[in-house]
Amino acid sequence: MNPYARSNNAYKKASVTTKDQGTLILMLYDGTIRFLKTAIIKIEKNDLEGAHTAIVRAKNIISELLTSLNTDNSGRVGASLKSLYVYMFNRLIDANIQKKVDYVEEVYDLMAELREGWLGVINKKKEAAKAKQFNNRNELKPIQIQG
């Protein structure tokens, strides 16, 4: 492996390991969407091997999302998300067997909607943190002088 590739891989690894959980989930959604787009294109071009590879990669990410989901502390939302991940995973199995663009597009639409929702959650958290930061700056704090 050349030095450039090694440093690039190290940079990517450091970039991922320093991200917060919300950003990592968003990255997983983005990767899934990217592979689903590729699968749609490959099926339309009748590139069955390429479609298979893209669908498997999307399934692997959904599997990772499913296994890392903490349903103990997430209540009804977590249970619903788990069901949705299982549905999308199974739908991609069907899509891979039958090479149906409609099935891949269905999962694509669901994943895009989840991504938008997750992005909204991240943005609200950022706004709340920013508001808290500015509120703390404006507070008057007593100064104690001892002499």
Report the CATH number that the domain containing residue 98 is assigned in CATH.
1.20.120.340
Expressed as residue numbers, the domain containing 133 is 21-138
Q: With respect to residue 35, please indicate whether it lies within any of the assigned structural domains.
A: yes
Residue with tokens 């498997």: 56
* Percent of the chain's residues with pLDDT above 70: 78
The 10s digit of each residue's pLDDT in 60-79 is: 999 999 999 888 887 888 88
The 10s digit of each residue's pLDDT in 10-65 is: 444 544 555 788 899 999 999 999 999 999 999 999 999 999 999 999 999 999 99
Distance from C-alpha of 115 to C-alpha of 36, rounded to nearest angstrom: 14
Higher pLDDT, 89 or 147: 89
State how far the alpha carbon of 133 is from the alpha carbons of 94, 107, 140, in Å: 49, 39, 14
**pTM metric for this prediction:** 0.75
Q: With respect to residue 7, please indicate whether it lies within any of the assigned structural domains.
A: no
Neighbours of 65 (CB within 10 A): 21
Helix axes 101-138, 21-44, angle to 10 degrees: 160
Q: With respect to residue 13, please indicate whether it lies within any of the assigned structural domains.
A: no
Contacts of 32 (CB under 8 A, 6+ apart): 58, 61, 62, 65, 111
Q: Are 102 and 76 in contact (CB under 8 A)?
A: no
Number of domains in the chain: 1
Pick from 99, 98, 86: which is nearest to 59 by CA? 86
In this structure, what token pair is assigned to residue 131?
Answer: 């508001």
Q: With respect to residue 8, please indicate whether it lies within any of the assigned structural domains.
A: no
Q: With respect to residue 51, please indicate whether it lies within any of the assigned structural domains.
A: yes
